[in-house]
Amino acid sequence: MGKKDNPPKPPKSQPYSNMDLPPSDDDDDDHVESGDEIQKKPPTRRRNVELSTLTAPAVKEVKNRDLPSSIKPKPDDNSPKEATIIIAAAAAADGAAAPDPNVKDISLDNFSVSAKSKELLRNASLKISHGKRYGLVGPNGKGKSTLLKLLASRKLPVPKNVDLFLMEQEVPADDRTALQLVVSANEELLKLRQQAAALLLQSPEADNGQQLADLYEQLHIMGSDAAEAQASKLLAGLGFSKDLQTRASRSLSGGWRMRISLARALFVQPTLLLLDEPTNHLDIKAVLWLQDYLCSWKNTLVVVSHDRDFLNAVCNGIIHLHDFKLHTYRGNYDDFETGYEQRRKEVNKKSETFEKQLRAAKRAGNQKLKEKITEKAKLAVKVEKKKSKGTRVAEDEELPELPKKWKDYTVEFHFPQPTELAPPLLQLVDVSFSYPGSEDFSLSDVDIGIDMGTRVAVVGPNGAGKSTFLNLLAGGLNPTEGEVRRSQKLRIGRYSQHYVDSLTMDETPVEYLLRLHPDQEGMSRQEAVRAKLGKFGLQSDSHLTVIKDLSGGQKARVVLTSISMSKPHILLLDEPTNHLDLQSIDALADALDEFTGGVVLVSHNSRLISRLCDDGEKSQILVVENGSVEAFDGSFEDYKEELLKEIRRAEES
């Protein structure tokens, strides 16, 4: 018998293009020279799997169907819309078309994503197991937010029986109260209530008794009677007083409207909950409440967060976006770090072994041995990849790329050591403050001194006056009563969102910093500034980009660089972590640890506060609440324990 011809090998993937999506992560994207290569793949024999074009929604809460027109926000004309290219395995797409109703896991093989002409994922695979709580981590600008959007829009195939909800943006400012907005997130409940109300308005002669009874039965099953109470409980956990819950959303700040959006996501209780930086606008007490709540979450969770303590408390799995791939680790963030280090060593060892063997073959001039070593190394990578998925390697499968050294993402921040100044450097003496015409807010009888080496963490509820307190220290506000004393030679480095928003938008970072800090020594002035920007993690291709085109994280790095160049004696930092990734937060903690000047920090990030206040003799916790600024008698861990007790007492009452 003649030898049978093997059937042609099907290609691994099929490109889908022209999808209109927001860009990746809103942070430090790297330019990728090969970003357009995905579009250049040769045509394949596998049938096309059609995916419809997606228009980027103005509202960034995405459920498995559109929101009713009554709760849609006005379109945001300024939101960027960028083409995103996906290469998804056809088998995964076919699986989404006819799902097993009992399966709530999500399996995606061999898909690639590009946004803003930059490659984010390349032949990546992802498995999301139902009931697990995943933290999605990785450097800013590498595709974490884009991945969530693609899942939420179902452009990455998600089983149809899996309902999902992406919480990402504040709710619109309108006349509805916080409580109404949360309850309205349950579209089905809202629809049934409206139908019942319409039937009640019909004339008494209308024969609608049975229809009304059926509606009431459905509403009872959905827990309609308890909906407002449940929504109120969620809002209370996120810091809303009874008064705030009944205020129109238009009267609330963006941070409070973001909390409403988070409460809506929790109220819906989807099978798959997607959260993008949910702690950014929360105070520490609300973060602790959210941790507690999510630890009992029974469905699936994927959360992007830069808060290490939050990830440790909530997650039992970590998805790491690294080098265009998605790697899943068991356990919380600390477990991930251990597994990551082990994996890095293993990969580097295999790469070094391969390079050593290849060099030996090259020195011997043995071309056949070189080819044999190369093919063996490729097959080893393929076998290991298949083994991790429980599948076998087909003989005619294309072999992967060669082993390569692990690429680590590292960041280092440094603030120059200040010249020594004799105390006192900065004092508030019997200071009181209130805004003109405002009876709702005041600070009274504040006494505090900041000197070289002082470490102060300022905590308390949002809106209690933490930023006002920092403004009084910085001189941005004058006290109504009392005295502020400053050393004549004192230099203060100030970070706040206001300073980020106040950057000169039409200048490049280099132009901006040269204007503020013209006296640069050593190399050329421009090169000196660029070197400093690089130390704070701003990629070189962003140094000469106008600031208005930079992301929030990139702007934050410009401000931090400017603070460093001012050579401050005291750092006043108001929520510096909001635009920083985990590695950058650790780098900031290291920089503060080695800084010999004084530091006053307002933050909701427990890790950063713990690092700052690890020396009980030099550090203190100041609690701003109910118009006072009081030193807490204990460590930061003691303070968190007090908050947890308050949370549990409130839940029991």
284: domain CATH number? 3.40.50.300
Angstrom distance (rounded) from CA 216 to CA 172: 30
Is residue 266 located within the same domain as residue 124? yes
Q: Which residues contact 479 (CB under 8 A, 6 or more apart)?
A: 428, 431, 432, 433, 472
Mean pLDDT of 255-284: 94
Residue of 413 and 390 predicted with greater confidence: 413
pLDDT of residue 375: 65
Q: What's the mean pLDDT in 31-50?
A: 34
pLDDT tens digits, one per residue of 518-566: 887 656 888 989 999 998 989 899 999 999 999 888 999 999 999 999 9
Please give the structure tokens belonging to residue 173: 């400012």
Angle between helices 284-295 and 636-652 (to 10 degrees): 60
* Claim to verify: residue 437 and residue 554 sit in the same structural domain: yes
Residue 302 and residue 450 in one domain: no
Residue 258 lies in a domain: yes
Task: Look at residue 194 and tell me if it is in a domain.
Answer: no
Strands 628-631 and 118-128: unpaired
Give the mean model confidence (pLDDT) for residues 102-106.
Answer: 87
Q: Look up the pTM and report it.
A: 0.79
Please check the confidence at residue 608 and state whether its pLDDT lies above 90: yes
Contact 431, 483 (CB under 8 A): yes
What does the pLDDT read at residue 80? 40
Top mean pLDDT of 96-100, 123-127, 189-193 is at: 123-127
Domain that holds residue 65: 14-186+222-323
Distance from C-alpha of 515 to C-alpha of 518, rounded to nearest angstrom: 6
Domain check: are 436 and 294 in the same one?
no
Whether 587 and 452 share a structural domain: yes
Q: 209-221 and 187-200 are packed helices; what angle lies between their axes, rounded to 10 degrees? A: 150
Q: Could you read off the pLDDT of 363-405 as tens digits, one per residue?
A: 666 666 656 666 665 665 555 555 445 444 334 444 445 556 6
| 212 domain residue, yes or no | no
Q: DSSP character for 143?
A: S
504 within a domain of the structure (yes/no): yes
Residue 25 and residue 551: Cα distance in Å, rounded?
A: 9
Out of 290, 323, 356, pick the residue that ends a domain.
323
The pLDDT score that the predictor gives to residue 351 is: 73
The answer to whether residue 273 is domain-embedded is: yes
Interval 309-324 mean pLDDT: 96
What CA–CA distances, in Å, run from 26 to 23, 115, 187, 495, 594? 7, 11, 29, 20, 30
pLDDT at 86: 66
pLDDT, residue 48, reads: 34
Task: Report whether pLDDT(488) > 90.
Answer: yes
Give a yes or no: residue 592 inside a domain: yes
Which of 296, 323, 350 terminates a domain? The answer is 323
pLDDT given for residue 484 in this prediction: 96
In a domain, residue 526? The reply is yes
Task: Indicate whether 384 belongs to any domain.
Answer: no
**What's residue 426's pLDDT?**
97
Q: What percent of the chain has pLDDT over 90?
A: 55
Structural domain count of the chain: 2
* pLDDT tens readout for residues 156-176: 989 989 999 998 778 889 999
Q: What is the pLDDT of residues 207-261, one digit of tens each?
A: 777 788 888 888 888 878 889 999 999 999 999 999 999 999 999 988 899 999 9
| 298, 323, 348 - which closes a domain | 323
